[in-house]
Amino acid sequence: MAAVSGDEPLLRVVRGDPTPEELAALVAVLAALSGPAAPPTRPVAVWSAPRRLQRVVHPHGPAGWRASGLPR
């Protein structure tokens, strides 16, 4: 990849007469495409998941105590 000096333009319009808004939109799209990718998110371990801090509603009824120990 060739190094770009300070006096050479990065983008050059070859044909047509775009408005400043059209050029700004083009530059924004090109900048978004060439940007670095977002770092991958780390998975949250189940034992430290925030959902474990929420209250669990246990089943009601005659066999509710037995169902409360069963996996969901």
DSSP output for 19-69: -HHHHHHHHHHHHHHHSPPPPPPPPPPGGG-GGGGS--PPPPSTTHHHHTT
Confidence at residue 72, expressed as pLDDT on a 0 to 100 scale? 62
- Position 24 scores a pLDDT of 92
pLDDT of residue 4: 60
Write out the chain's pLDDT in tens, 72 residues.
Answer: 455 666 787 788 899 999 999 999 998 898 888 777 778 888 878 787 777 777 777 677 887 777 777 666
pTM, full prediction: 0.39
